[in-house]
Amino acid sequence: MENVIIIGSGPAGLTAAIYLSRSGLRPLMITGEKPGGQLVNTDLIENYPGFISIKGADLMVNMLAQAENLKTKVIYESVKNVSKSDIHFEISLCSGEFLRAKSLLVATGVTHKKLCIPGEEKFTNKGVSWCATCDGPLYKGKEVAVVGGGNTAVMEALFLSKLAKKVYLIHRRSSLRAEKIMQERLQLNENIECVWNSEVVEILGEDRVNNIKIKKSNEACCMDMDVSGVFIAIGTNPSSDFLKDIVPFDNEGYILANGTKTECPGIFAAGDIVSSSLKQAIYAAGQGALAARCIEEFLSIR
């Protein structure tokens, strides 16, 4: 029987692991499919206190090393299901193994949204990607498209502009949602061209992507654009399906919590999975620290 199991290994989960380990509770962390969470795919972080800039992967490697140094137990696995009895929680892993715990911290974060258009599934990993830092080097000297209008889309475009011959940033509106400083950097980059009021409606190719169809909002016909890669950055979905019927969700599937406490005693939530989250690394880390304190209090009164 574990004192606490942390599900997820992003900044929220790892910060909680560090605090809980220092309290002597010896937490067990289940990393999920992507150890380190979404930050592993972030090229540069410039708004995390203490660093002028740091690669997302480097930050997460350091946090994981710190947690393990403090005796956090780590399992590189994914959770299939969670069930509750009167005295404990049972966690079913995808491997078939079962674990038991007195308390849980859910810090599973989010997954990337898809366009759900013809060709997207067919060309996944064959020209369609959700991670420029992972796959960008494959498109050196080629023309690529980035779909989206937020911070992530602009960061992807800026990163790809260092490698690709040309980057098209395709957005369905006439202005971006990205932070002002990100938009200023975009405007100064001559290798990026914004395609406004447009949506990608089909991805085409033979063995790999070589063309996309774009529809302008004020035009009936579509236009073709020759590109070798399509990078999709249109938002995320919460990774919360394994908790159905145990904790309440909002309309989009994010966990509803008072601070980090859910309505189910013993289950806590932190990071991007929480409905009210700011979706920022520093906020997730702060929630992880708060969750650790709440878990300590919960276990002390059991």
**Structural domain includes residue 86:** yes
Choosing from 175, 207, 232, the residue where a domain stops is 232
User: CA 64, CA 70: separation in Å to the nearest integer?
Assistant: 10
* Position 245 pLDDT exceeds 90: no
Average pLDDT over residues 253-274: 97
Pair 88, 106 in one domain: yes
Pair 223, 244 in one domain: no
pLDDT category, 222, cuts 50, 70, 90?
very high
**Structural domain includes residue 121:** no
Pair 34, 103 in one domain: yes
In this predicted structure, what is the pLDDT of residue 244?
Answer: 85
58 counts as catalytic: no
**Structural domain includes residue 218:** yes
% residues pLDDT > 70 (the chain): 100
3-state secondary structure at position 165: coil
pLDDT, tens digit, 9 for 90 and up, residues 181-191: 999 999 999 99
The answer to whether the CB of 222 falls within 8 A of the CB of 215 is yes
Pair 6, 72 in one domain: yes
Number of domain units in the chain: 2
Q: Which of 134, 224, 226, 241 is flagged as catalytic? A: 134
Choosing from 189, 217, 232, the residue where a domain stops is 232
- Tell me which residue has tokens 């994981």: 64
In this predicted structure, what is the pLDDT of residue 276?
Answer: 87
In this predicted structure, what is the pLDDT of residue 240?
Answer: 93
Pair 99, 6 in one domain: yes
In this predicted structure, what is the pLDDT of residue 86?
Answer: 84
**Structural domain includes residue 62:** yes
* Position 302 pLDDT exceeds 90: no
Q: Which of 43, 135, 194, 272 is flagged as catalytic? A: 135
DSSP symbol at 274: B
Tell me the pLDDT of the chain averaged across its residues.
95
Lowest-confidence pick of 141-145, 243-247, 262-266, 269-273: 243-247
- List strands edge to edge, sheet with 222-225: 198-205, 209-216, 222-225
Pair 133, 226 in one domain: yes
Average pLDDT over residues 29-43: 89
pLDDT, tens digit, 9 for 90 and up, residues 39-85: 887 878 888 999 999 999 999 999 999 999 999 999 999 999 999 98
In this predicted structure, what is the pLDDT of residue 293?
Answer: 98
Residue 16: which of 61, 63, 84, 80 has the closest Cα?
A: 63
* Position 25 pLDDT exceeds 90: yes
* Position 90 pLDDT exceeds 80: yes
In this predicted structure, what is the pLDDT of residue 68?
Answer: 97
* Position 246 pLDDT exceeds 80: yes
DSSP symbol at 190: T
pLDDT category, 88, cuts 50, 70, 90?
very high
User: CA 14, CA 285: separation in Å to the nearest integer?
Assistant: 8
* CATH number for the domain harbouring residue 201: 3.50.50.60
In this predicted structure, what is the pLDDT of residue 161?
Answer: 97
Pair 7, 108 in one domain: yes
Q: Which of 94, 131, 222, 264 is flagged as catalytic? A: 131
**Structural domain includes residue 53:** yes
**Structural domain includes residue 122:** no
Pair 8, 100 in one domain: yes
Choosing from 177, 206, 232, the residue where a domain stops is 232
In this predicted structure, what is the pLDDT of residue 49?
Answer: 94
In this predicted structure, what is the pLDDT of residue 43?
Answer: 79
pLDDT, tens digit, 9 for 90 and up, residues 168-184: 999 999 999 999 999 99
**Structural domain includes residue 120:** no
Task: Note the Cα 194 to chain centre separation in Å.
Answer: 25
Q: What is the largest CA-CA distance in the chain?
A: 65
Pair 26, 88 in one domain: yes
In this predicted structure, what is the pLDDT of residue 136?
Answer: 92
Pair 92, 135 in one domain: no
Domain with 162, as residue range(s), is: 128-232
135 counts as catalytic: yes
Is-above-0.85 flag for pTM?
no
Pair 9, 105 in one domain: yes
User: CA 23, CA 292: separation in Å to the nearest integer?
Assistant: 9
* Position 221 pLDDT exceeds 90: no
The H-or-E segment that residue 284 falls in is helix 281-300
Three-state SS annotation for 43-87: CCECCCCCCCCECHHHHHHHHHHHHHHCCCEEECCCEEEEEECCC
* Position 219 pLDDT exceeds 90: no
194 counts as catalytic: no
Pair 157, 15 in one domain: no
**Structural domain includes residue 118:** no
